Chain A
Amino acid sequence: MDWIVPLILTVITASTPLLLAATGELITEKSGVLNLGVEGMMLVGAISGFAVTVSSGSAILGILAAIVAGMLMSLIFAFLTLTLMANQVATGLALTIFGVGFSALVGSGFVGFPLDPLPSLSIPVISTIPVIGPILFSQDFLVYASIAIVIATGWFLTRTRAGLILKAVGDSHDSAHAIGYRVIRIRYMATLFGGAMSGLGGAYLSLSYTPMWAENMTAGRGWIALALVVFATWRPGRLLAGAYMFGCISVLQLHAQSAGVNVPSQFMSMLPYLATVIVLVIISSDYTKIRLNAPACIGKAFRPAQ
Chain B
Amino acid sequence: MIRLEPRRSHSQAMVYLSPVLAIVMTLIVGGIIFAFMGKNPLEALYTFFILPISDSYGVSELFVKATPLVIIAVGLAMGFRANVWNIGAEGQLTMGAIFGGGLALYFYDSQSVFLLPAMLVFGAIGGALWGAIPALLRTRFNANEILTSLMLTYVATLFLSYLVHGPWRNPEGFNFPESRPFPDAGLLPIIYDGTRVHLGTAIAVFVVIAGWLLLSKSLIGFQLRVVGKAPQAARHVGFRQKRMVWFTLLLSGGLSGLAGLFEVAGPIGQLQPSISPGYGFTAIIVAFLGRLHPVGVLFAGLIMALTYLGGELAQISLGLPSAVTGLFQGILLFFLLACDVLTKYRIRVGSVATKGGAV
Chain A residues near B (Cβ < 8 Å): 36, 40, 76, 80, 83-87, 89-91, 93-95, 97-105, 107-108, 215, 219-220, 223, 226-227, 230, 264, 266-267, 269-270, 273-274, 276-277, 280-281, 284-285, 287, 290, 303, 306
Closest Cβ of chain A to B55, distance in Å, is 27
CB <8 Å contact, A86 and B340:
yes
B206 in contact (CB, < 8 A):
no
Q: Which residues of B contact A277 (CB under 8 A)?
A: 137, 143, 147-148, 151-152
Choose, from B9-17, B154-162, B210-218, B238-246, the stretch at the interface: B154-162
CB contacts (< 8 Å) of B148 on chain A: these are 277, 280-281
Chain B, interface SS category? helix
A281 engages B323 (CB within 8 Å): no
Q: Taking CB as reference atom, which chain B residue is nearest A91?
A: B337
Q: Does B151 lie within 8 Å of A94, measured CB to CB?
A: no
Told that A100-B330, A270-B154 touch, could you supply 13 new A-B pairs with CB distance under 8 A? A85-B344, A94-B330, A97-B326, A101-B328, A102-B323, A227-B147, A273-B154, A273-B155, A277-B137, A281-B143, A284-B141, A285-B140, A303-B4
Among B137, B147, B333, B341, the residue within 8 A (CB) of A94 is B333
- Rounded to whole angstroms, the CA-CA distance of A269 and B293 in the bound complex is 38
Total number of residue pairs linking A and B with CB closer than 8 Å: 143
Q: Does B4 contact A101, Cβ atoms closer than 8 Å?
A: no
How long is the Cα–Cα vector from A90 to B77 in the complex, in angstroms?
12
Specify the chain A residue showing the minimal Cβ separation from B353: A306
Q: CA–CA, A208 to B81, complex, Å?
A: 42
How far apart are the CA atoms of A273 and B285 in the complex, in Å?
24
- Chain B residues with Cβ below 8 Å from A287 are 142
Min CB distance B178 to A, Å, is: 16
Which of A100, A226, A267, A273 contacts B326, CB < 8 Å?
Answer: A100
A and B contact pairs by CB, cutoff 8 A, 13 listed: A86-B341, A90-B288, A94-B337, A97-B281, A100-B323, A100-B330, A101-B326, A101-B328, A264-B162, A280-B147, A281-B137, A281-B148, A303-B4
Question: Contacts A277-B148, A285-B141 given: A102-B162 contact, CB under 8 Å?
Answer: no
Which one, B144, B166, B338, contacts A230 given CB within 8 A? B144
Instruction: Give the residues in chain B near A80, CB-CB below 8 Å.
Output: 334, 337-338
A223 to B285, CA, bound (A): 19
Please measure, in the bound complex, the distance between the C-alpha atom of A31 and the C-alpha atom of B136, giving whole angstroms: 30
User: Which residues of B lie under 8 Å from residue A227 when comparing CB positions?
Assistant: 147, 151
| Contact present for B284 and A101 (CB under 8 Å) | no
B85 interface residue, CB < 8 Å from A? Answer: yes
CA of A276 to CA of B4, assembled, Å: 39
